[in-house]
Amino acid sequence: MDPNDDQQRLDERAKRQEWRHALDRSADLRAAGDPTDPTAVAATPPPPPAAPAPDPLAAVEPAPFGAAAAVPAPPASAAEPDPVALAQPLAQPAHVADPADLVLAARGLRVAFSGNEILHGVDLDAPRGGVLALVGPSGCGKTTLLRSINRLTELAPTATIGGQILFDGADVYAGGTDLNLLRRRVGMVFQQPNPFPMTIFDNVAFAIREQAKRRPSRGELMPQVADVLQRAGLWDEVKDNLDRNALSLSGGQQQRLCIARTLAANPEVILMDEPCSALDPRSTARIEELIVQLAGSLTIVIVTHNLAQAKRIADYAAYLLNGDLIEQGIAQQVFEDPANQSTRDFVAGMFG
């Protein structure tokens, strides 16, 4: 990894975050200062009746355990150290002024597998454009939350799902949702690079062929295939050998191929489930670079276990703990000045 490149990217990132921060600062202040502000209320999902909207000032203070009505008892897992003083979840995200700017939102999302609840009513806001990082310790439900967005969770027969996921304002769990269309508009990149056992070309052309009415010829496909491979930063490495077996690529190349394959479906949102955890640092750096580039034209929701990575690439961040969304907002704020004690401990590296 070239340290100069890294530094430059970090600078760009910081600038961009500052800019967003400034844009949203007014909304922040409004929300914090005046709870009756109509703008703030519009941005605020109605808090669950069990947890009355917390006083924004009180939210900063770690509340005593018993007072946190909305926080369910931590699971009886001995392996998971009881995180320091579970605090009240921040009921409302203050970083988005206009609900129309949300491309994705979870409202009271509950997911259970075989009756074991993984998500306890999560309200997540994903602003349009940029990178939203979902962070939290293992087992906190980040991946389940991510996979619930494009309705992959229900592939597990034991899963039960409640609540809403709003994509462009429409509930994807409403009846009559075209799942295939949803999954084309909300693409996904997985933790393990999973190119299909076919040529590089066929991998990229997969989604295009899938969406085409009749079978397009190779010549017709080529411009699109070349375009998405270029956007995924893989073109120069594979352009002479598109008929090579995709599985013969290196892990990092395979993951970029998967990103290209997802891009070929022309999605508005890409969900990424720890896309770099199986890769070496050099490949990770390339993918991070790619994510930042792509975030200019679409929205990326990324689950990451790597806090440093989240800090490098995220515009927004959401922190989950034991199935509850504890805090979300502008990445810089969540990482540098979190409102919640638990978040503070997590970003300080005290657990997770």
Minimum CB distance to another protein, residue 184 (Å): 4
Which CB, 77 or 180, lies closer to another protein? 180
SS3 234: coil
Which CB, 116 or 158, lies closer to another protein? 158
Which CB, 91 or 260, lies closer to another protein? 260
Which CB, 21 or 147, lies closer to another protein? 147
End-to-end Cα distance, the chain:
26
The size of the chain, in residues, is: 352
In this structure, are residues 184 and 240 in contact, taking their beta carbons and an 8 Å threshold? Answer: no
Minimum CB distance to another protein, residue 212 (Å): 12
Strand partners, 199: 245
User: Residues 6 or more apart from 78 whose CB is under 8 A from it?
Assistant: none
Q: How far apart are CA 273 and CA 180, in angstroms?
A: 19
The sheet carrying 170-171 orders its strands as 116-127, 102-113, 159-167, 170-171
In this structure, are residues 149 and 347 in contact, taking their beta carbons and an 8 Å threshold? Answer: no
Which CB, 90 or 152, lies closer to another protein? 152
Q: How far apart are CA 305 and CA 24, in angstroms?
A: 27
Which CB, 241 or 248, lies closer to another protein? 248
Helical (H) or strand (E) element with 299: strand 299-303
Which CB, 122 or 258, lies closer to another protein? 258
Q: How far apart are CA 68 and CA 61, in angstroms?
A: 12
Minimum CB distance to another protein, residue 275 (Å): 13
Judged by the rule CB under 8 A, the positions of this chain that interact with another protein are 150, 152, 155, 179-184, 187-188, 190, 192, 194-198, 206-207, 210-211, 245-248, 258, 261-262, 265
* Residue in the block written with tokens 């997985």: 190
Which CB, 257 or 330, lies closer to another protein? 257
What are the φ and ψ backbone dihedral angles of 232, each rounded to 5 degrees?
-85, 5
Minimum CB distance to another protein, residue 259 (Å): 12
| Nearest by Cα to 202 from 189, 216, 181, 214 | 216
Minimum CB distance to another protein, residue 105 (Å): 20
Question: For the chain, what is the radius of gyration of the CA atoms?
Answer: 21
Minimum CB distance to another protein, residue 180 (Å): 4
Minimum CB distance to another protein, residue 188 (Å): 4
Which CB, 150 or 333, lies closer to another protein? 150
Inter-axis angle of helices 251-263 and 218-231, nearest 10:
120
Minimum CB distance to another protein, residue 157 (Å): 8
The tokens for 300 are 């990326």
Minimum CB distance to another protein, residue 271 (Å): 8
